Amino acid sequence: MSVERKNYNNGTLKVAIYNRCNKSMDKTEIDKQLADNMDSIEPYKDKIDYVNIYSDIGYSGTNFNRPAFKKLIHDIENDKVDLLIVKDFSRIGRGINTFKIIEDIILKHHVKLFASNCDLENDLKNDINILNDSIKKYISKQSLKRKVRSKDKSR
């Protein structure tokens, strides 16, 4: 687990970046996720107070037994996060049920969630919370792909 902080002290936005790679990936994947996520906020650094970066290396997204993730949730529950950025939504968790738990926490604490492959500029301008049907469809599609793969293996 690692958690690091970058201070901008320019605005009021408290940003969290969450990176996760499973056991089959190497550390360069975390570095790439972090670089992509940092690039996505670069144009908005004048609105940012600080960025906390949470990284779990070697952990599955099928459960919440991840040290940096637990710290992230703790910080969200203590109102230390306004905006959560991930590479893609699968970094948070795998499956609708897993994601639903996180969605409830994020909504309760008014945290916006973005994937670095989304249009952050448009969403910040319009104050749109990205937790919508497209995320749920994405996660459903990923779950369906895993079910099909496991069904194919059992034949």
Percent of the chain, pLDDT > 90?
16
CATH for 133: 3.40.50.1390
- What is the structure's pLDDT at 91? 82
Q: For the chain, what is the domain count?
A: 1
pTM of the model: 0.72
- What is the structure's pLDDT at 78? 95
List pLDDT tens digits, range 31-62. Answer: 888 888 888 888 888 888 888 999 988 888 88
The DSSP code sequence of the chain is: -EEEEEE--SSSEEEEEEEEE-TTS-HHHHHHHHHHHHHHHGGGGGGEEEEEEEEEES--TTSS--HHHHHHHHHHHTT--SEEEESSGGGT-SSHHHHHHHHHHHHHTT-EEEETTS-HHHHHHHT----SHHHHHHHHHHHHHHHHHHHHHT-
- What is the structure's pLDDT at 125? 44
Query: Domain limits at 114?
Result: 2-153
- What is the structure's pLDDT at 119? 56
pLDDT at residue 4 greater than cutoff 80: no
List pLDDT tens digits, range 62-107. Answer: 888 899 999 999 999 999 999 898 887 778 877 677 777 888 888 8
- What is the structure's pLDDT at 94? 73
